[in-house]
Amino acid sequence: MSHRDLKSARKWLPFAALPALPLGLLAVVGMNACSYGLHPHIILEGKPVDLERLASIRTGMSEEEVLNSIGMPLEIRQAEESSSVWRYYERARLRGCTVEFLGFIPVADSPVRRVEALVFLRNGTVDHVQLSETE
What integer pLDDT is reported at residue 37 of this predicted model?
Answer: 60
98 and 121 share one domain: yes
What integer pLDDT is reported at residue 40 of this predicted model?
Answer: 83
What integer pLDDT is reported at residue 94 of this predicted model?
Answer: 86
79 and 121 share one domain: yes
Q: How far apart are CA 73 and CA 119, in angstroms?
A: 9
61 and 88 share one domain: yes
Which strand (E) or helix (H) includes residue 12? helix 3-16
Non-local CB neighbours of 73 within 8 Å, separated by 6+ positions: 86, 87, 88, 119
Say which amino acid occupies 67.
Answer: L
What integer pLDDT is reported at residue 127 of this predicted model?
Answer: 96
- Averages of pLDDT over runs of 10 residues in the chain (135 residues) are 55 54 53 57 91 93 96 93 94 81 72 94 96 90
Domain of residue 118, CATH code: 3.30.1450.10
85 and 107 share one domain: yes
pTM for this one? Answer: 0.65
7 and 66 share one domain: no
Q: How far apart are CA 35 and CA 106, in angstroms?
A: 10
Number of domains in the chain: 2
19 and 44 share one domain: no
Domain boundaries, position 97: 34-134
27 and 75 share one domain: no
What integer pLDDT is reported at residue 41 of this predicted model?
Answer: 84
48 and 9 share one domain: no
What integer pLDDT is reported at residue 32 of this predicted model?
Answer: 43
